[in-house]
Copies of this chain bind each other. A is one copy, B any other.
């Protein structure tokens, strides 16, 4: 699908079941059905997947990492080559993060100031500056359908004062991003604000209200899944979502397990991203309708059962014994099949979730998912 500049960004709620909701986000590159899970395409590729298989899995949108792409191959280079969609053979919507989180987690010699953050590239040591204005410029060069403001991802744990200082800086940066975006973005592109405030409900509320005052196209909940635990995370989601406007999409960043998704959707979240399904191949973890499996486990050495008989993913039809052999041997095909099956499982999970919400049976559906993942916990590796 080519970019359609006549389409402006919008969110339409279609159905509701408790706080859980089904909706549709319209972007220049097509519709995103929500709740939506965005596979992570860090370096202009969803790791070990052909783009057509990402699409076949049911994904309406992927996430790409501004930090990685601005360092390699460079945002200006991608723009000269026709933009990120064309570059990576993905013509559906793309959301880009602002790069702020990776600067904190990957870059060296970070220095944060009012103006922005300077750091050394983790690839070649080059000195790089990322300001709110540059973050928007890079995301415009990439041609993202949904951009994120540059924020300071508050580290965990943080005192109330640290969280407040960090939140205030993020708000000033958010205003600068909004101004830069207004000056530069193309029709239909969207900019999301990011709620911070660590684990302090009143700071979360303060952050959300201030962002609403600036007016964004959608709102993300950031700075979570960083060690605070699921209960604290869900408290913050709840505190934030009571404040966020109902006519805008809500995006919980960097989350999570199937259980996390059920809990968060039940509290009104619409969008997610997480590296878990695409990184799990390296840990040999498979997400299936029967729960989580560790394919290295010796019990699968002669298990002729398909990986996930309940999935319609072609990769999930491969026998567990073969996948066990592939991951034990370090074969690329093992990562390819597990990633495909995991990405499609997450998409099937979202599709069934949307159906359950539309039919007013979300609570029992979420219970069933929790039960399956409780009964089949992540397994320890054993020798064959």
Contacts and interface: CB of A to CB of B under 8 A. Distances in A.
Interface string A10-44: 00000000000000000000000000000000011
A109 interface: no
Contacts of A73: 301, 321, 324-325, 328
A149 interface: no
- State the 6 A-B residue pairs at the shortest beta-carbon distance, nearest first: A48-B332, A45-B333, A73-B325, A43-B329, A45-B331, A81-B321
Contacts of A332: 45, 47-48, 332, 335-336
A72 B304 contact: no
A369 to B, nearest CB: 29
A247 interface: no
A381 to B, nearest CB: 16
B333 A81 contact: no
A328 B68 CA distance: 13
Interface stretch (A82-90, A193-201, A215-223, A288-296): A82-90
Contacts of A80: 302
Which applies to chain A's interface (DSSP): helix, strand, loop or mixed? loop
A43 B322 contact: no
Nearest to A49: B333
A125 B80 CA distance: 53
Given A73-B325, A80-B302, A89 B318 contact: yes
Given A326-B45, A332-B336, A302 B81 contact: yes
Interface residues of A, number: 33
A294 to B, nearest CB: 17
Interface in A322-345: 322, 324-326, 328-329, 331-333, 335-336
Contact of A322 (B44, B321, B325): B44
Contacts of A333: 45, 47-50
Nearest to A324: B73
A152 B113 CA distance: 70
A93 B191 CA distance: 55
Given A73-B325, A318-B89, A325-B44, A82 B336 contact: no
A235 interface: no
A370 interface: no
A259 interface: no
Given A332-B332, A336-B336, 5 more contacts: A45-B326, A49-B333, A73-B325, A81-B302, A81-B304
A302 B48 contact: no
Contacts of A91: none
23 contacts: A43-B325, A45-B326, A45-B331, A45-B333, A47-B333, A48-B332, A48-B333, A49-B333, A72-B325, A72-B329, A73-B301, A73-B321, A73-B324, A77-B301, A77-B302, A77-B321, A81-B322, A82-B304, A87-B319, A89-B318, A89-B322, A332-B335, A336-B336
Nearest to A86: B319
Contacts of A49: 333
A326 B295 CA distance: 27
Contacts of A77: 301-302, 321
Interface in A225-245: none
A331 B82 contact: no
Q: Which of A88, A324, A333 has the most CB of B within 10 A?
A: A333
